[in-house]
Structure 1
Amino acid sequence: MAVAGQTFGIVGALAAFPRRLAAREVERQFGHLRRGITRQTSHLVFGRSLLSTASDAEIEARFDSEIRQNRRPLSENGFLRLLGLMSTPEASALTRQALIDQSRLAARTFDLLSLFDAFEHDSEPYSFRDLILARKYAGLIDSGATWSAIARSVHRSGSVAALTALSLHHEGADTIYARRAEGLSELDGQLLFDLGTSSDAELEDLFAEAEAAEEDGCYDQAAAFYQRCLAIDPTDSVAAFNRANCLKAAGRQVEAAHDYIRALKLDSSFVEAWFNLAGLMGERGRIDAARRYLKKAIELDGDYADAVFNLAKLEFDADNLAEARHWWRRYLELDKDSEWARAAERGVQFVDLHLLPRSAG
């Protein structure tokens, strides 16, 4: 699949490759890489650091959410292979279903292990070594291990394929062991392609702190954290956008407008930034600017129902009734059942009643 035109998001720090190099390669291939998720995100890369910063339940919920949103989850190795930065091992003709059937691993467990590169291949076709690994993992699961304990441990061997020659065991702790002649030992070894830097990890930690502060309503503190993120990576449009949201929530409207514009300078296709900037301009009475920015958001994403509704309301408030009706009708094509849809229906009816006498006259 071509990278051009696709938008990639990353959650968690990458262990296999520095994010800045991945971003450079994605841009070189005419794609886009953002931290986190926006409406245009088509692929989400799950960084292996999630295994140490998020619970199993949080990771599983995130995985399920991406599937429901029709985004394609990618493992780190899957991402690198898609970019052409990592070769694909020799494959056999084994399908995902064949591997699941022959190993007796639950399908969900298999998918989560694949997501964190516990197999040679990240997608079909799988190799015979992948089948051996799947059977070993099924035995570990049966003995009480969790999928995350396996995923955290396997990369310590240096090469996942090397695990096919080891006898793997799980004995109560959250770690997988290999039985060797001298007894049980951890799967020690350097992480595969461990090229990350401390600045990558620092940036991920800062971004997580910023998100937590924002969620707790500590907007000034969150804005300060996002600013530190931007000091490390000035090209991060999502950090600029999030900072703008925090500044707006803190009542710092002029600064918020500056950071929305900053996000758009970094990524002119950032639909949510156009939308939120339009809202800010509307609140400040700059109706022409708000109209322009809403139309830009709709131009980029014609199914952005919130932008369509807000544009209809803006036109209605400006007494442009025909335009308001046009956009409310468009909204009803996107949403037929919500409270907003009922408001749009009332808007259309109101305009029809007021335009009818003019048409008749």
Structure 2
Amino acid sequence: MAVAGRTFGIIGALAAFPRRLAAREVERQGGHLRRGVARQTNYVVFGRGLLSRATEAEIEKRFDGESGAHGRVLSENGFLRLLGLARAAETSALARQSLIDQSGISPRHLDLLSLFDAFEHDGEPYSFRDLILARKYAGLTASGAGWSAIARSVHRSGNVASLTALSLQHEGNDTIYARRAEGLSELDGQMLLDVGSPDEEALEDLFALAEAAEEAGDYDEAAAFYQRYLAIDRTDSVASFNRANCLRAAGQEAEAAHDYARAIKLDPSFVEAWFNLAGLMEERGRRDTARRHLTKAIELDGGYADAVFNLAKLEFDAGNLTEARRWWMRYLELDQDSEWARKAERGVQFVNLQLLSRTAG
């Protein structure tokens, strides 16, 4: 799978590799890495830091959404292997269904544990050691352990393959133990390739605080958190975009426009930033600028229906009926069933009547 021309989105903090170094390597190979998920995201990387910040239900909901909306989700190790920064362990031809049949693990738990690198391989073909691990995990879940408790615990052992020689046990809490001759012990050990730094942890904390404040509707506080984040990492286009959204919601339009522009400068292919800035410009009466930004968004993503519809409406409001009709017709090629499609149809009908009346006159 080639990296060139692909956009990778990261959900959660990376535990196996610093994000800034991953971004540098992706860019070197001709791809693009972005925090979070946008329209043009081709692959979604689930960072293991998500295990400590979200509940099982929240992670599963996100996994289901991204698995359906995008071509592929990647684990951290899968991401590193794709970049050529890590190698797969023992190779095997053990198919996913074969592993499920032989181990008794549920397909759901297999996919989620693979996503957080609880096996040697992040997907099929799996190895024989993966089969042993799957049997152990199936036993743990049968005893009441949650898949996320397993995923959090196994990385304390370092290489997960070392767990194949241990007897794993669940004691009614969120930790998995190994039964040894001297009794139960936690799976202590350094996390594989754990080269993170306190600064990176502080950045992740700031971003999480900003997201939480934004979700709660406290836009001033969220903007302040994003600003603190950007004071440390000035290269994050998503943080600039999110801060712009918060500032816009808080009524600080001029500063919002500045941050949208900063997001675009950092990432000229950031379609949502072009689109949102266009909306802001139109609200401020700068119709020509809004038109240019919407046109750019459509140039970057020809299937961006919202941008097509808004450009049609902008042209209609400006009295450019032929252009409005053209863009509404384009919109109907993208969407035939929604209420917006009905509005586009009515727009086309209105323009046709207007043009017909002018011809008749």
Corresponding residue number in structure 2 for 1:147: 147
1:360, distance to aligned residue in structure 2 (A): 4.1
User: Aligned equivalents of 1:169 and 1:217: distance in 2?
Assistant: 42
Q: Confirm or deny that 1:312 pairs with 2:312.
A: yes
Q: Secondary structure at the match of 1:73?
A: strand
Corresponding residue number in structure 2 for 1:11: 11
User: Aligned equivalents of 1:36 and 1:160: distance in 2?
Assistant: 27
Contact 2:43 2:70 (C-alpha < 8 Å) held by counterparts: no
Q: Secondary structure at the match of 2:44?
A: strand
Corresponding residue number in structure 1 for 2:95: 95
1:50-80 CA deviation, whole Å, 9 max, x = no partner? 1111000000000000012024211111111
Code of the residue aligned with 1:21 in structure 2: it is L
User: Aligned equivalents of 1:12 and 1:161: distance in 2?
Assistant: 24
Contact 2:41 2:70 (C-alpha < 8 Å) held by counterparts: no
User: Aligned equivalents of 1:32 and 1:202: distance in 2?
Assistant: 23
Q: Confirm or deny that 1:128 pairs with 2:132.
A: no
Contact 1:41 1:71 (C-alpha < 8 Å) held by counterparts: no
1:320, distance to aligned residue in structure 2 (A): 0.4
User: Aligned equivalents of 2:99 and 2:231: distance in 1?
Assistant: 46
Tell me whether 202-211 or 108-117 shows the greater mean CA deviation.
202-211
Corresponding residue number in structure 1 for 2:190: 190
User: Aligned equivalents of 2:272 and 2:316: distance in 1?
Assistant: 22
User: Aligned equivalents of 1:292 and 1:200: distance in 2?
Assistant: 37
| Structure 1 segment 1-361 matched on structure 2, within 5 A | 1-360=1-360
Q: Secondary structure at the match of 2:185?
A: strand
User: Aligned equivalents of 1:215 and 1:283: distance in 2?
Assistant: 24
Code of the residue aligned with 2:120 in structure 1: it is E
Contact 2:9 2:33 (C-alpha < 8 Å) held by counterparts: yes
User: Aligned equivalents of 1:71 and 1:256: distance in 2?
Assistant: 32
Aligned length: 361
User: Aligned equivalents of 1:173 and 1:354: distance in 2?
Assistant: 70
1:271-300 CA deviation, whole Å, 9 max, x = no partner? 000001111111111111111100000011
User: Aligned equivalents of 2:96 and 2:200: distance in 1?
Assistant: 33
1:116-171 CA deviation, whole Å, 9 max, x = no partner? 10000112211111111111111111111111111011111111000011111112
Q: Secondary structure at the match of 1:49?
A: helix
User: Aligned equivalents of 1:71 and 1:60: distance in 2?
Assistant: 17
Tell me whether 265-274 or 246-255 shows the greater mean CA deviation.
246-255
User: Aligned equivalents of 2:147 and 2:234: distance in 1?
Assistant: 36
Please, what is the CA RMSD of the aligned residues? 1.0
User: Aligned equivalents of 1:320 and 1:173: distance in 2?
Assistant: 65
1:204, distance to aligned residue in structure 2 (A): 1.3
User: Aligned equivalents of 1:75 and 1:108: distance in 2?
Assistant: 15
Instruction: Give the 4+ runs in structure 1 shifted more than 6 A.
Output: none
1:359, distance to aligned residue in structure 2 (A): 3.2
Code of the residue aligned with 1:269 in structure 2: it is S
Q: What is the TM-score when the length of structure 2 is the normalising length?
A: 0.98
Code of the residue aligned with 2:240 in structure 1: it is A
User: Aligned equivalents of 2:136 and 2:348: distance in 1?
Assistant: 63
Identical-residue share of aligned pairs (%):
78
User: Aligned equivalents of 1:44 and 1:203: distance in 2?
Assistant: 20
User: Aligned equivalents of 2:122 and 2:359: distance in 1?
Assistant: 63
Contact 1:257 1:280 (C-alpha < 8 Å) held by counterparts: yes
User: Aligned equivalents of 2:336 and 2:242: distance in 1?
Assistant: 31
Unaligned runs of 5+ in 2: none
User: Aligned equivalents of 1:175 and 1:211: distance in 2?
Assistant: 28
1:299-328 CA deviation, whole Å, 9 max, x = no partner? 111111110010000000000000000111
Contact 2:167 2:178 (C-alpha < 8 Å) held by counterparts: yes
Contact 2:16 2:192 (C-alpha < 8 Å) held by counterparts: yes
1:189, distance to aligned residue in structure 2 (A): 0.8
1:216-245 CA deviation, whole Å, 9 max, x = no partner? 221111111111111121110000011111
